[in-house]
Amino acid sequence: MAAPKTAAARKKFRDREMELLLDLSRKVAEADNLDTVLQTVLATAASETHSDRGTLFLNDERTGELYSRVTQGGRISEIRILNNEGIAGHVFTTGESLMVADPYQDQRFNSAVDLKTGYVTRHLMATPIRVRGTVIGVLEMVNSEKGGFDPMTSGCWKRSPCRRRPRSAACNWWSA
């Protein structure tokens, strides 16, 4: 799906974005605990990016690890990686979002989780989670059902600097 070009298409797109945000706001307001809020955010991101799986990592300052607070799509109890390893660690330490078309060709990619689960990561995108400007974790979406992620058409990227400069290091598609 290409970015909307006509005024009517842009309005329809903005209306859909507003409906999505309103729906997400309602679900978050109804949540009675943090895990439900985080699961709602992850499910919405997975739906909007057509991702097969997703993980919301938070930083454990005590151990220096990113741990999976919530996951979607897999049956793994908890993922723990050093907060400076892998794609998620790179995103956490640099504060920059990444889209990786072929993770196995990227030296930053940590295939340990794939080896443990038998799952194959074909492509992924990851972005820092910020609270008041501080990176506290990483949202990672894996294997778009559309065959890859495109910063020009992935819903979460619509408002980012990537829309104007797709290769920008300043791409942050989700932050609070």
**pLDDT of 79-103, one tens digit each?**
899 999 999 999 999 999 999 999 9
Q: What is the dihedral of CA 61, 68, 52, 168, to 10 degrees?
A: 0
What ranges do the domains of the chain cover?
A: 7-163
Instruction: Tell me how far CA of residue 57 lies from CA of 5, 79, 136, in angstroms.
Output: 36, 8, 9
pTM over 0.85: no
> pLDDT at position 75, please?
62
Residue 80, strand partner residues: 67
Give the CATH class of 7-163. Answer: alpha beta
Instruction: Tell me how far CA of residue 137 lies from CA of 11, 153, 154, 168, in angstroms.
Output: 33, 24, 21, 20
> pLDDT at position 35, please?
80
Which residues in 52-87 are b (16+ Cβ under 10 Å) and which e?
bbbbbbbbeeeeebbbbbbbbbbeeeebebebebbb
The more confidently predicted of residues 26 and 33 is 33
Residue 129, strand partner residues: 137
For residue 6, how far is the Cα from the chain centroid?
Answer: 28
Looking at every residue in the chain, the average pLDDT score rounds to 77
